[in-house]
């Protein structure tokens, strides 16, 4: 099951900029129930494949885990359950991507107002 380590990574790396989003085919009520049952802290959304942005059309089944960098480039796609060495390697890729700076004028957070 992907949920425990995804939430663990979210809790561990969100201050560095990691965003985790769960897409699910179950109803919003079932999503809320699962989030409560598993103690999830990342947002869940209804997976409607025909409404996904074109780059996310690579998702053809689940679980699918994507690592998208600060510039919106898909850096890694894993079909199936992450476990063992594959899970550890994916976490190392997360750490590496989080250390990268965004290119161009892109920001990772809203600009602070000067006052």
pLDDT of residue 114 exceeding 50, the answer is: no
What range defines the domain where residue 14 resides? 3-99
Question: What is the CATH number for 70?
Answer: 3.40.30.10
pLDDT at 115: 46
pLDDT at 25: 84
pLDDT at 23: 84
Tell me if residue 96 falls in helix, strand or coil: helix
pTM to 2 decimals?
A: 0.77
For residue 74, what are the contacts with CB-CB under 8 A and spacing of at least 6? Answer: 55, 58, 66, 67, 68
Question: Could you read off the pLDDT of 20-79 as tens digits, one per residue?
Answer: 988 888 889 999 998 999 899 999 888 887 887 887 777 877 788 989 999 988 899 888
Does residue 106 sit within a domain? Answer: no
pLDDT at 106: 54
């Amino acid at each position: 099951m992907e949920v425990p380590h995804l939430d663990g990574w979210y809790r561990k790396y969100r201050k560095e900029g990691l965003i985790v989003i769960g897409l699910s085919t179950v109803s919003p009520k079932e999503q809320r129930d699962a989030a409560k049952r598993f103690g999830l802290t990342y947002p869940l959304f209804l997976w409607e494949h025909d409404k996904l942005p074109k780059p996310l059309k690579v998702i053809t089944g689940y679980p699918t885990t994507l690592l998208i960098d600060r510039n919106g480039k898909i850096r890694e796609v894993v079909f199936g359950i992450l476990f063992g060495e594959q899970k550890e390697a994916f976490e190392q890729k997360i750490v590496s991507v989080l250390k990268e700076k965004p290119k161009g004028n892109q920001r990772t957070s809203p600009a602070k107002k000067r006052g």
